[in-house]
């Protein structure tokens, strides 16, 4: 089956938009609850868009089904859709997404902000790897 490049590019644009917003937030002092909520929402959108991209590639290019977010990223690493280093930096955000959604936003804000500050660049790396994958495989 064929990968829908338009669909993937739409999700990549969403990730880019949310990443820019996060970068803007990181320029300031992140103590405001509204800013922290906004960052959490951006992260949820980034992870969901990333998972949609990976699930689509797994299904259409590899013929592999993936049930949940963590299974999707695991299988994507195994199929070399994303690199090991991207997987390692991105996986915590997939885990945070599940915590944020299923535990009603109960996550230690300091831990989340620390992880974002240390690893937000992985979102740009993810975009690069997906764009490269599309060039090579479509």
Ranges of each domain in the chain: 5-133
Mean of pLDDT values over 119-136: 95
* Lowest-confidence region among 60-69, 98-107, 118-127: 98-107
Q: For the chain, what is the mean pLDDT? A: 89
Mean of pLDDT values over 3-14: 95
In CATH, which superfamily holds the domain spanning 5-133?
Answer: bsu32300-like (1.20.120.580)
| SS3 readout for the chain | CCCCHHHHHHHHHHHHHHHHHHHHHHCCCCCCHHHHHHHHHHHHHHHHHHHHHHHHHHHHHHCCCCCCHHHHHHHHHHCCCCCHHHHHHHHHHHHHHHHHHHCCCCCCHHHHHHHHHHHCCHHHHHHHHHHHHHHHHC
Mean of pLDDT values over 45-55: 95
Q: What local confidence, expressed as pLDDT, does residue 74 receive?
A: 94
pLDDT above 60: residue 113: yes
């Amino acid at each position: 089956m064929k990968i829908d490049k338009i669909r993937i590019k739409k999700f990549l644009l969403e990730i880019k938009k949310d990443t820019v917003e996060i970068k803007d937030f990181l320029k300031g002092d992140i103590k405001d609850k509204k800013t922290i909520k906004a960052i959490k929402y951006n992260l949820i959108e980034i992870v969901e868009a990333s998972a949609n991209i990976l699930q689509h590639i797994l299904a259409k290019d590899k013929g592999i089904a993936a049930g949940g977010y963590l299974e999707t990223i695991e299988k994507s690493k195994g199929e070399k859709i994303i690199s090991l280093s991207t997987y390692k930096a991105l996986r915590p955000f997939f885990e945070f997404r599940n915590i944020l959604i299923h535990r009603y936003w109960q996550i230690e804000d300091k831990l989340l902000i620390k992880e974002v500050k240390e690893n937000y660049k992985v979102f740009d790396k993810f975009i690069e790897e997906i764009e490269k994958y599309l060039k090579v495989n479509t």
